[in-house]
């Protein structure tokens, strides 16, 4: 093989592999993207039953009901709308009423959101970004959500 042929075969091979990579990605993107929705989004645009989505908002205070076999029901709210969520399993450490939550799953035909994953938060003052944005959009954001509990007397000296 001449130098030119070798270089061409190298370039050809590279383009081939890259084309395969792009094809794989496009194929994977078609089915495996999960959209984030707030309860208001859900009310607005009617998500098809069976479509996987992420639902985010605050766990409505007083809505948590525990059933048998570790099943629970609760409502997710963004201040304007609520969505009923069912989940079975162990809840993450920081799941509480009045706190931010992101649930992944799909609606059943009756309009109940069946979550198979409840995403954990890792810090008591930390609000999932998607939830914070959704609350801001619906106009129910309170500044203290994103901040640490009360600063010490005197405040930071900067």
CB contact set of 22 (below 8 Å; sequence gap of 6+): none
Q: Taking contact as CB under 8 A, which single stretch among the options 57-65, 73-81, 105-113, 117-125 is the one that binds another protein?
A: 117-125
Which single residue is written with the structure tokens 């959009």? 137
Total binding residues toward another protein, as defined by CB under 8 A: 51
Strand bridging mode 113-119 / 65-66: unpaired
Helix, strand or coil, per DSSP, at residue 140: coil
Which position among 44, 51, 89, 111 is part of the footprint of another protein (CB under 8 A)?
Answer: 89
Under the binding rule (CB under 8 A), the answer on residue 93 touching another protein is: yes
Q: With respect to another protein, which residue has the nearer C-beta, 33 or 48?
A: 33
- List beta partners, residue 86: 73, 114
Under the binding rule (CB under 8 A), the answer on residue 10 touching another protein is: yes
Q: How far apart are CA 148 and CA 153, in angstroms?
A: 14
Q: How far apart are CA 131 and CA 147, in angstroms?
A: 14
Q: With respect to another protein, which residue has the nearer C-beta, 19 or 111?
A: 19
Which position among 63, 99, 133, 145 is part of the footprint of another protein (CB under 8 A)?
Answer: 133
- Interior/surface letters 96-105, b for 16+ CB within 10 angstroms, e for the rest: eeeebbbbbb
Q: Which residues make up the interface to another protein (CB under 8 A)?
A: 1, 3, 6, 9-10, 13-14, 17-18, 20-21, 24-25, 27-29, 31-36, 54, 66, 69-70, 89-91, 93-94, 102, 119-120, 122-124, 126, 128-130, 133, 146, 148, 152-158
């Amino acid at each position: 093989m001449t130098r030119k042929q070798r270089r061409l075969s190298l370039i050809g091979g590279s383009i081939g592999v890259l084309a395969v990579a792009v094809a794989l990605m496009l194929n994977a993107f078609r089915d495996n993207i999960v959209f984030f929705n707030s309860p208001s989004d859900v009310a607005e645009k009617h998500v098809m039953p069976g479509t996987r989505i992420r639902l985010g908002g605050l766990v409505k205070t007083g809505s948590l009901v525990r059933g048998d076999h570790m099943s629970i029901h609760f409502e997710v709210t963004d201040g304007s709308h609520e969505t009923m969520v069912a989940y079975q399993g162990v809840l993450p450490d920081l799941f509480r009423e009045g706190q931010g939550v992101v649930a992944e799953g799909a609606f059943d035909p009756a309009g109940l959101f069946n979550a198979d994953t409840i995403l954990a938060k890792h810090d008591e003052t930390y609000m999932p970004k998607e939830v914070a944005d959704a609350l801001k959009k619906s106009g129910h954001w309170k500044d203290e959500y994103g901040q640490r509990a009360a600063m010490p007397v005197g405040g930071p000296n900067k």
